[in-house]
Amino acid sequence: MMKRRHMLGAAGLLAAPGLARAQAWPARPVTLIVPWAAGGGTDTVARIFAQGLERELGQPVNVVNRTGGNGITGHSAIATATPDGYTIGMGTSEFANFRTLGLVDFGPENFDLLSRVAVLPAGVTVSAQSPWSDFPAFAAALRESRRGQLTGSGVGAGGSWHLAAAGLCRALGLEADRIRWIPSNGGAPALQDLVAGGLGVFTGSPVEAQSLAAAGRVRVLAVMGEQRLSTMPEVPTLRETGLDWAYANWFSLVAPRGIPAPVRGPLLAAAARAHARPEVQDQLRGRGIVPVWDGPEGFAGFVADFTETSARLLRELGLAKG
């Protein structure tokens, strides 16, 4: 009997390493929550990144769109998920402004901020029928205009492209609302208004305006990024024109707080490798999206600065409630 027990105990010890390996993360598919609808910019970035992450993990990465509440529904689902490494998310710049806008008592501190993944810079796009052929001419006209005389659009009030326009005005030494904002349901309807002559400037992504620019219907005067876009290399950055302002929508890898270190470490390492894969980089750049990987510390510092700048602009626009 003693010999039998000894043999069973030894078998158990031999099996333990195999059991540990079987339970090591990831032992099953990972869910990547996207707070916005399928087919949009965030969804595009998430699906490109998920393909690379799948190859690194050897497990499926299932992209799930959780829409609603101006991004609140999906971001809440990420933050409140079980912190086991099996639910992560593609967070966007909106979550930095939820509290300031008075939408919900919720912000960056509710997430494990892993890294930015990509940015999509704003731009300055005007109708081809406008008198402005370059950004300095547009800036001069804006300075000479009455408050609210020039209209802009690209998103709803207080959204990313609205803040891009407000920051542009402040960088020129003007009121944040010198450009009167016309809320829209996205870039497509705003660009239609621009072409029809009902709008002065579109400050959304130049990528959205690229086909219209190629057709000669709009002019992209500048990009609000740190560098020129690979898909529109002829368009200068604002800093190249002498204006110290940059603004971009950003997409980030976030997770619920509290993931154990033995899981968080491998997750972060695999995500960094996935982001660096040539096919991921090429697919993003080919769409005019700029890949970025700044890691937890760099991302946390960026979010703090971004939240402060956004809150100031929202207050100046009279939109801050929190």
Question: Which 3-state string (H, E, C) describes 193-212?
Answer: HHHHCCCCEECCCHHHHHHH
Query: 244 φ, ψ to 5°?
Result: -85, 75
H or E segment at 301? Answer: helix 295-316
- Model confidence at 186, pLDDT cuts 50, 70, 90, reads confident
Strands 111-121 and 248-256: antiparallel
Judge contact between 124 and 135, C-beta under 8 A: yes
Which CATH number does the domain 123-241 belong to among 3.30.1360.170, 3.40.190.10, 1.10.10.10, 3.40.109.10?
3.40.190.10
pLDDT tens per residue across span 25-76: 999 999 999 998 888 889 999 999 999 999 999 999 999 999 988 899 999 9
Question: Which one has a higher pLDDT value, 239 or 10?
Answer: 239
DSSP 155: S
Q: Which of 36-40, 143-147, 257-261, 300-304 has the lowest mean pLDDT?
A: 36-40
CATH 3.40.190.10 residue ranges for the chain: 123-241
Exposure string over 37-56, b if 16+ CB within 10 A, otherwise e: eeeebbbbbbbbbbbbbbeb
Residue 92 structure tokens:
């966007």
Rounded to an integer, what is the distance from CA 303 to the centroid of its chain?
11
Q: Give the pLDDT of residue 69.
A: 86
Architecture of the 30-120+248-316 domain: 3-Layer(aba) Sandwich (3.40)
The arrangement of strands across the sheet holding 179-181 comes to: 179-181, 150-153, 201-202, 123-127, 218-223
When pLDDT is averaged across residues 207-214 and rounded to a whole number, the result is 93
* pLDDT of 280 strictly over 70: yes
pLDDT tens per residue across span 109-159: 999 999 999 999 999 999 999 999 999 999 999 999 999 999 999 988 999
* pLDDT of 233 strictly over 90: yes
When pLDDT is averaged across residues 196-201 and rounded to a whole number, the result is 96
Regarding pTM above 0.75, the answer is yes
Q: Give the pLDDT of residue 217.
A: 98
Q: Give the pLDDT of residue 5.
A: 47
* pLDDT of 237 strictly over 50: yes
Q: How confident is the prediction for the chain on average, in pLDDT? A: 92
pLDDT tens per residue across span 67-108: 988 899 999 999 999 999 999 999 999 999 999 999 998 899
CATH 3.40.190.150 residue ranges for the chain: 30-120+248-316
Q: Give the pLDDT of residue 26.
A: 98
Residue of 85, 93, 111, 72 lying closest to 32 (CA atoms): 85
Q: Give the pLDDT of residue 85.
A: 98
CA atoms of 43 and 37, how far apart (whole Å): 7
Rg, the chain, Cα only: 23
- Model confidence at 197, pLDDT cuts 50, 70, 90, reads very high
Q: Give the pLDDT of residue 7.
A: 46
